[in-house]
Structure 1
Amino acid sequence: MNHVEGGWPKDINPKDVEQTIRFRKKVEKEENYINCLQHLGSVMEHCIKQNNAIDIYQQYFEEDEELEESSELPSAKTINILRDPNEVKRTITSLSWHPDGGRKLAAAYCNLGFQKNPKDMSLDSYIWEIENPSCPEMTLKPESPLVCLDYNPKDPHTLVGGSYNGQIAYWDTRRGSQPVEYSSLEHSHRDPVYKIIWLQSKTGTEAFSASTDGQVLWWDVRKLSEPTERLVLDPGREGNLDRALGAISLEFEPTMPTKFMVGTEQGLVVSCNRKAKTAAEKIVCTYDGHHGPIYALQRNPFFPKNFLTVGDWTARIWSEDIKESSIMWTKYQMSYLMDACWSPVRPSVFFTVKMEGVLDIWDILFKQSDPSLSVKVSDKALYSLRVQDNGQLVACGSQNGEATLLEICSGLSTLQKNEKSLAAAMFERETKREKILEARQREIRLKERSRSEQSREDEAGREDGEDNLEQLIARAENDFYSLVEAEMRRRERREETPQENDVCDEREVQNGVENGKTGDETGNTDLS
């Protein structure tokens, strides 16, 4: 009834197609392969014969179940509240579920206010058993408060955390509360580490981190003395740390091992390719859509080409194919959104938390304008959010150090009939719509550019014409004043010696007239 793929060696990732094909080819060459197949064939034949007699997969009362599900209203109920045991309460900045069934929850506690940490404030973070809210199961003791924390999906005993002072710490819960290893200060981040994620690797010991110092660093927890790789988020692709964008969120999808995405303080999402040949090629493209820092960034687990971001007062859904705008978005909320994530079981459901202490659950197949369910979780601001792998439990971390566990109704945590195909059609339709609008915008911009260029040419022509006219007017004025001066001199002389200068005056006037004529001929100006 419930088939889980297993039997793979530890160094093989079942989700990596290349690794599984290589392993299969290796097994097929072994001598014992044919004997095993023949033995398994007889077992399989026996099962098929049994199944022909009795349908063991028959589902009873299927219609009644569907009716019950459809009539259920969206709901969520609080199961437990895990409170910070210290007197000075701190914000829960990060949460991580235990990979084996989600029986435990790791929480990172840190006060992010600049120089607002009191002297007696604890530096500890905790691992909680969700059924025992009275006291934490284990205490993690870093040298600096933890801003982010992540369980290793391959080894549930190990965790990696990013500290307020920029260091990376690595824990093995079998070895106690103290970190097994720390990164050295000179090779760590210069600002708080806001996000750290484990990578899919053969060894299961690699992780990468992001900080507001503008760097993304890759680490191997077996040797944390210095990072294995470094990327500076310089939009000019020159690796200049002074111009780098501050990173505040990260996204890594195991099915796309070479790709990763970074959310920045400036509201840009930077898409990167780790395996690019040069540092400049590692930054592939950017998506600009938020007015403030991008606090959350996650690909849809069913449709990795579509990803969710949260920044300022909205949550936005993007497609990798559209660079200029998101394909779907929520309307502006009354308070800042601080975190968000997709449901691991339903492709059309995502969760957001707000500064006013409210958890919103959105089902975009049901409605896009408003959340399907809003729950007032706390009187304080909610800063972090994580959903259990089965989609039924949600943990919300608040400003006063409370982690609230909520159980979601089956309607929001069970895959609905035809949901995948409907969600895929919706994402595709919205992507096409944005492409058409983008093309239309490009056409309008081109027309405006051609119009502005034409108007510039016309203005230049007008200016040339105006210059020619001004020259003609200036020439005509000069000719006019020269005639007037000649006439004035003639009259003065006539008054002094009227009889002697008559002949000379007539000549001067005649010369003035001739000069006026030549100016008229050359300047094409009427001097009358």
Structure 2
Amino acid sequence: MEIVYVYTRKRSEFGRPCNFSDWPTQVTVDIPPDPSLASDFVLKNPVNSSVQHTSDMAEHEVNTEHVEVQSRGINHVEGGWPKDIDSQELEPTVRYRKKVEKEENYINTIVHLGTLMEHCVKQNNAINIYERYFGEEEVEEMDDEPPSAKTIQILRAGQSPWPTHFFLYVLLSKRDPKVTKRTATHLCWHPDSSRKLAVAYSCLEFQQSTSDMSLDSYIWDLENPNKPELVIKPSSPLVCLEYNPKDSHMLLGGCYNGQMAYWDTRKGVQPVEVSTVEVSHRDPVYGAIWLQSKTGTECFSASTDGQVLWWDIRKLSEPTETLVLDITRKGLLENALGATALEFEHTM
């Protein structure tokens, strides 16, 4: 049963203005407060509410025409024939061949292909492709000895009491004072004195570092070789360490994780500033050199990631300049060659 309600209104009532009048106050609903519900009240701060301000849109659906698609394959046995010639018929194909053979382009093409074919035939006649030219070579058995390194003691030549003789005497052996031994990866002499030596220690073998391995590097005094004069504490093991030639209190270090840092021996064992990982090298820093600048704060570094970065220690948050060692000169890091040594000619 369909229920229909028809609302009718006289035409004379259309557009009639509203007639408002005063009306006394009337209480429609009176709900007294319930103190027992106060414990259930939860104060929300802040209160989030959403409002939709977009305009109303209508949605229409249309059925398009149905299109049937079918995939077919073809066996191409003999090609190059025009559409009006059936390759299975003998007479049309012979007639078309005679027509093509009379063209000038056909003759030039056959002559060119004949020269290439003659060259290949002569090669086959001159070389026996089935002959075995190289016999079985005897493979020499080589003993796979594990790599080893010897600790070389530091020697200094001094003048003896005899004027015509010199002698060598051992000053000290720069061994790692920690229990877990590491390799001395870099040495740097003090620029003002031959008594002090900065040594960087790290383990360059991939994933061979243990949790108890120390990160420290040291500054040694040759007059007191029993213990290091100063301990340098980096955030990552140092691969290279360089004195500043203008200020002997400043040291520049390249870390195993690619970061750059510098120390001031007057301020303690912690680095003064360290570069961020995002702008540093991606591989260990194998070379770091101070530049001959007026400020004495500029340097540059190289790594096996294929980059040479210029730095100013007053702002290690980002390098001042970047050079990608791409031999194609396109600046592509994936084509760059890694650097394991670094040198700078300041007279150029």
TM-score computed with the length of structure 1 as normaliser: 0.35
Equivalent residue of 2:334, what SS? helix
Code of the aligned partner of 1:211:
S
1:101 aligns with 2:221: no
Q: How does 1:382-393 map to 2 (within 5 A)?
A: none
Of 262, 269, 272, the match for 1:177: 269
Task: Find the structure with the greater CA-based Rg.
Answer: 2
1:83 aligns with 2:212: no
Of 309, 315, 332, the match for 1:223: 315
Code of the aligned partner of 1:192:
P
Q: How does 1:466-477 map to 2 (within 5 A)?
A: none
CA apart distance, 1:81: 2.0
The question of whether the paired residues in 2 share the 8 Å contact of 1:82 and 1:134 is answered with no
What is residue 229 of structure 2 aligned with on the other side? 137
What is residue 240 of structure 1 aligned with on the other side? 332
CA apart distance, 1:103: 1.9
**Which of the two has greater strand per residue?**
1
Q: How does 1:71-470 map to 2 (within 5 A)?
A: 76-256=168-348
Equivalent residue of 1:185, what SS? coil
Code of the aligned partner of 1:151:
Y
CA distance in 2 between counterparts of 1:82 and 1:92 reads 8
What is residue 138 of structure 2 aligned with on the other side? none
The question of whether the paired residues in 2 share the 8 Å contact of 1:83 and 1:133 is answered with no
CA distance in 2 between counterparts of 1:187 and 1:90 reads 28
CA apart distance, 1:152: 0.1
Code of the aligned partner of 1:131:
E
Equivalent residue of 1:155, what SS? coil
CA distance in 2 between counterparts of 1:110 and 1:171 reads 18
Equivalent residue of 1:178, what SS? coil
CA distance in 2 between counterparts of 1:98 and 1:201 reads 19
Code of the aligned partner of 1:149:
L
Equivalent residue of 1:249, what SS? coil
Equivalent residue of 2:246, what SS? coil
Equivalent residue of 2:266, what SS? helix
TM-score computed with the length of structure 2 as normaliser: 0.52
CA distance in 2 between counterparts of 1:200 and 1:160 reads 14
Code of the aligned partner of 2:294:
K
CA distance in 2 between counterparts of 1:158 and 1:199 reads 13
Equivalent residue of 1:174, what SS? coil
CA distance in 1 between counterparts of 2:171 and 2:238 reads 26
What is residue 63 of structure 2 aligned with on the other side? none
CA distance in 2 between counterparts of 1:192 and 1:218 reads 16
CA distance in 1 between counterparts of 2:193 and 2:238 reads 24
Equivalent residue of 2:342, what SS? strand
CA distance in 2 between counterparts of 1:216 and 1:144 reads 20
Code of the aligned partner of 1:182:
V
Equivalent residue of 1:186, what SS? coil
CA distance in 1 between counterparts of 2:275 and 2:329 reads 27
State the structure with bigger RCO (CA 8 A, min sep 6), 1 or 2: 1
CA apart distance, 1:255: 1.5
Equivalent residue of 1:94, what SS? strand
Code of the aligned partner of 2:300:
F
CA distance in 1 between counterparts of 2:278 and 2:288 reads 19
The question of whether the paired residues in 1 share the 8 Å contact of 2:306 and 2:324 is answered with yes
Tell me how large the CA RMSD over aligned residues is: 1.6
Q: Which runs of 5+ in 1 are unaligned?
A: 1-67, 257-528
CA distance in 1 between counterparts of 2:283 and 2:175 reads 28
Q: Taking every aligned residue pair, what percent have the same amino acid on both sides?
A: 67
CA distance in 2 between counterparts of 1:241 and 1:76 reads 48
CA offsets 1:400-436 (integer angstroms, 9 cap, x no match): xxxxxxxxxxxxxxxxxxxxxxxxxxxxxxxxxxxxx
The question of whether the paired residues in 2 share the 8 Å contact of 1:147 and 1:163 is answered with yes
The question of whether the paired residues in 1 share the 8 Å contact of 2:176 and 2:183 is answered with no
CA apart distance, 1:80: 1.9
CA apart distance, 1:78: 1.8
Equivalent residue of 2:248, what SS? coil
CA offsets 1:329-349 (integer angstroms, 9 cap, x no match): xxxxxxxxxxxxxxxxxxxxx
CA apart distance, 1:132: 0.7
CA apart distance, 1:253: 1.9
The question of whether the paired residues in 1 share the 8 Å contact of 2:285 and 2:303 is answered with yes
**Which of the two has greater helix per residue?**
1
Number of equivalent positions: 187
CA distance in 2 between counterparts of 1:207 and 1:140 reads 20
CA distance in 2 between counterparts of 1:116 and 1:245 reads 25
CA distance in 1 between counterparts of 2:203 and 2:292 reads 31
CA apart distance, 1:102: 2.0
CA distance in 1 between counterparts of 2:325 and 2:339 reads 8
Q: How does 1:7-46 map to 2 (within 5 A)?
A: none
The question of whether the paired residues in 1 share the 8 Å contact of 2:299 and 2:311 is answered with yes
CA apart distance, 1:118: 1.0
The question of whether the paired residues in 1 share the 8 Å contact of 2:171 and 2:222 is answered with no
Code of the aligned partner of 1:189:
H
CA distance in 1 between counterparts of 2:229 and 2:255 reads 21
CA distance in 2 between counterparts of 1:210 and 1:171 reads 19
CA apart distance, 1:106: 0.5
